[in-house]
Structure 1
Amino acid sequence: MKLLFSITISVLAIFPLLAQEKPLKLGIAGLTHGHVGWILGREHQSDINMVGIFEQNTELAQRMSKQYGFSMDIVFDSMEEMLKATKPDAVAAFGNIKDHLSVVEACAPKGIHVMVEKPLAISLEDAKKMEALAIKHGIHLLTNYETSWYETNFKAKSLLEEGTIGGLRKAIIRDGHKGPKKIGVSNEFFEWLTHPELNGGGAIMDFGCYGANLMTWLMKGKKPNSVTAVTQQLQSENNPNVDDDATIILTYDTAMAILEPSWNWPIGRKDMELYGETGALYSDNANQLRIRLSTGYSSYTEETLFFKDRPIPYDDPFSVFAAVINGSLVLEKYGPYTLENNMIAMEILQASLDSSKSGKTIHLE
């Protein structure tokens, strides 16, 4: 009897492990986004099985097939054909931002979960359609940001909530690089990244979304009271149809945020500064965080902390996606990946676009 009991317990203990090891069948929608290399070049792990790719540009697909070693047999020139032939559990979108809506329109009715690259959509109108489809059909709709992998950002939020620097009064979030042309993105990526309809804008959308996402997370879903944005075009020869530099000011009841998305930074950056009543936190990059505490008028103490990458599964967006779908991970409310966060981020981005075009401050309801 003891032997039978022991065997039963052992088998029951193994079942969850077997369930977790069943790989997620993942389809890829588009290959034109420069970030697609994150999944194509991902080291083999048991949680994801890439079963199909939708890409109409055959030359691009063949080029990437040679670079990353996937078979052209899994490439389809129709989204519907890819979904029908491969029956994925989930799809990751790596085309232009405008296509995010059509990906959700194709996947949601079939119960297929979707993760898009930031931002969620090109407009608040499209975002609302995507949200309605996700809710109606009960799918997960995640948005991936590189800064979601930064352990420093999570430590900064924790220190802020612990009261290390007192109440938050000002945040400055800077994101960007020298510009798509100057950093040498592919022609396929450049064509839509600098297209006002396919990307929704220039730097204001491409990098303004990071600050909108992070502030919504830090403020636990509270919307800003107002949004004021100014854009410029400092590289008209490279970005003739869109802005390449922006400043966005968000006001809250007790704080202000300044977002500085730009394609004119001399050095690529994704950093955040949080200023409280008694000190400041500087999330310099993914691994370095500085803490300054006031000791007088201009004097302070400073401590620099270094962190490794986030623990599994948070170190990899596809691991997060798989874990959310299989139920082993529940994302925190208004966390960076969540739909609820990114709907507010889209409100901020839409207001930023409207403000920059009208020259007026936009007040959110």
Structure 2
Amino acid sequence: MKHHFLFLFSVLMMLSANMQSQEKPLKVGVAGLTHTHVHWILGRDDIGDIEIVGIAEPNRDLAQRYAEQHGFSMDLVYNTLDEMIAATGPEAVTAFGTIYDHLEVVETCAPKGIHVMVEKPLAVSMDHAQKMKALAEKHNIHLLTNYETTWYPTNHKAKALLNEGKIGDLRKVIVRDGHRGPKKIGVNKEFLDWLTDPQENGGGAITDFGCYGANLMTWLMQGKRPNTVTAITQQLQAENNPKVDDDATILLTYDTAQAIIEASWNWPMGRKDMELYGLTGAIYADNRNDLRVRIAEGYDGFEEEKTTLAEREAPYNDPFSLLAAVVKGSIRLSSYSLSSLENNMVVMEILDAARESAKTGKTIVLEE
């Protein structure tokens, strides 16, 4: 009887593994190549969860360079998104063009029932975001936003510790993101041309890196919108960024906490870090994997624990694995999770208010 049970168990396991291996990868189209985050998907190991079926990019020289770099065929490249969709029938499209183009991608894909993932931020403005949201809801598609920091184990551990009461009630969050500036770090011309354009990108550092802190804070606050938004922007590299800001500080206030978002193209080194301060301690997500927790002792003393975290388990370690899981229905995004439309509508409200505050020199009160 025991041997019979073991035999049946092994047969079931083999059948289960076979079914999993036979599950077809998600057919993904790529809309645009001018956002250099596209290397994330083009250079990704083939683990069988997605298949790039087509690429829409009119710049043949750029497409050829990337084809040689990543080894894909130019037969995958089409001049327009409509042509690519008609020829390849993707189930989802990932947008790697300008932020301004995100609306057009959704306008093209949503009526065809094609799901969309865009690179951060969701849109150039709340007006664009509202149109995208309406289309996604009307045509019942998933509309996700991808941030690099979504995949940081430290951010998720920090939130878990906060929820466990490790540092007491949250009072202050500081999020710092950025680098020396697009031109100084040597981004290619195709990216630089629109990244430093106020229409195509929606702003400079305030958009490019301000969105990270707004996304993380909305997640930590479980979707709660801030009461007020105050922002200061500067242009410290006019020679490199003549049309946009390159330094922004955004202050968000809530009933019981505040957030300071420091978005800059003037850091001496690249950074994406977050600090949480509670009533009894602090959590420092120093980078993707290094976390510190300080518990207060007396006036200025503390006990510190340092941890180096392993990567998260699939599909929570990769944007395209998550996209496939969401589209196939094996995962349902929780409200105000980092990739969700709900979260990123709040992000857009914060960014619009921040731009208005910086322009007028006034604190913006968000209406109920």
Amino acid at match of 1:342: N
SS at match of 2:28: strand
Partner of 1:95: 97
Partner of 2:355: 353
1:1-365 aligned within 5 A: 13=16, 16-17=19-20, 21-365=23-367
TM-score w.r.t. the length of structure 1 is: 0.96
Query: Which string of whole-angstrom CA distances, capped at 9 and with x for unpartnered residues, describes residues 155-186 of structure 1?
Result: 10011011111000000000000000000000
CA distance in 1: counterparts of 2:16 and 2:301, whole angstroms: 57
Q: What is the percentage of aligned positions where both structures have the same residue?
A: 65
Amino acid at match of 2:145: T
- What RMSD, in angstroms, separates the aligned Cα atoms of the two structures? 1.7
Amino acid at match of 1:290: R
Amino acid at match of 2:278: G
Superposed displacement of residue 309, structure 1: 1.3
CA distance in 1: counterparts of 2:64 and 2:263, whole angstroms: 34
Amino acid at match of 2:143: L
Cα distance, 1:12–1:136 mapped onto 2, change above 3 Å: farther
**Greater displacement, 8-17 / 338-347:** 8-17
CA distance in 2: counterparts of 1:12 and 1:67, whole angstroms: 39
SS at match of 2:200: coil
Amino acid at match of 2:20: L
Amino acid at match of 2:272: K
CA distance in 2: counterparts of 1:238 and 1:55, whole angstroms: 27
SS at match of 1:197: helix
TM-score w.r.t. the length of structure 2 is: 0.95
Superposed displacement of residue 15, structure 1: 7.4
CA distance in 2: counterparts of 1:300 and 1:11, whole angstroms: 53
Query: Which string of whole-angstrom CA distances, capped at 9 and with x for unpartnered residues, describes residues 22-55 of structure 1?
Result: 1100000000001000011001111111000000
Unaligned runs of 5+ in 2: none
SS at match of 1:98: coil
Count of equivalent residues: 362
Amino acid at match of 1:115: M
Superposed displacement of residue 330, structure 1: 1.7
Amino acid at match of 1:112: I
SS at match of 1:230: strand
Superposed displacement of residue 333, structure 1: 2.0
Superposed displacement of residue 94, structure 1: 0.3
Query: Which string of whole-angstrom CA distances, capped at 9 and with x for unpartnered residues, describes residues 111-150 of structure 1?
Result: 0000000000000000000000000000000000000000
CA distance in 2: counterparts of 1:15 and 1:287, whole angstroms: 34
CA distance in 2: counterparts of 1:284 and 1:132, whole angstroms: 37
